């Protein structure tokens, strides 16, 4: 007779991961990586940014694993973490003003006055700058 196969359901993997088995979290990530990536891609068109959001979402899920009430609901739970993480990142990016908008631009009609302001500002800098 062979070895008894223990089913590796999501709930079983969650319980093992909660007990400190780091290897148990990898198959959970692999099972839901596509779904989480699809969620993250809706928030960004950049593949690198989406990948960062995917990894950050799984790290957050791992760190909060003890907060998951129903281990069999890992899939919907990790997807909600991804959505909330993406929304949070999106809101924080919107709150950061575009640096180009913070610096006044010189218009062509300012001519020598704009040049004079820049030259005066540069002259005021110490040699260390």
pLDDT digits (tens, 9 = 90+) for 67-114: 999 999 999 999 999 999 999 998 887 654 555 555 555 555 555 666
How many domains does the structure of the chain reveal? Answer: 1
Given a cut of 80, whether residue 129 has pLDDT beyond it is no
Q: Is residue 35 part of a domain?
A: yes
Segments forming the whole domain that contains residue 15? 10-98
Cα separation of 110 and 26, whole Å?
A: 61
Q: Is residue 108 part of a domain?
A: no
pTM: predicted TM-score of the whole model, two decimal places: 0.67
Are the C-beta atoms of 61 and 77 separated by less than 8 Å? Answer: yes
DSSP type of residue 65: G
**Which comes out higher in pLDDT, residue 87 or 126?**
87
Q: Is residue 32 part of a domain?
A: yes
Q: Is residue 66 part of a domain?
A: yes
């Amino acid at each position: 007779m062979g070895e008894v196969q223990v089913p590796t359901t999501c709930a079983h993997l969650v319980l093992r991961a909660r007990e400190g088995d780091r290897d148990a979290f990898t198959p959970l990530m692999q099972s839901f990586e596509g779904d989480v990536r699809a969620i993250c891609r809706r928030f960004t068109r950049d593949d690198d940014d989406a990948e960062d959001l995917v990894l950050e979402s799984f790290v957050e899920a791992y760190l909060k694993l003890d907060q998951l009430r129903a281990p069999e609901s890992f899939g919907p739970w990790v997807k909600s973490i991804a959505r909330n993480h993406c929304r949070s990142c999106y809101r924080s990016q919107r709150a950061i003003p575009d640096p180009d908008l913070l610096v006044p631009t010189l218009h062509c009609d300012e001519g020598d006055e704009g040049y004079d302001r820049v030259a005066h500002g540069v002259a005021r800098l110490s040699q260390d700058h």
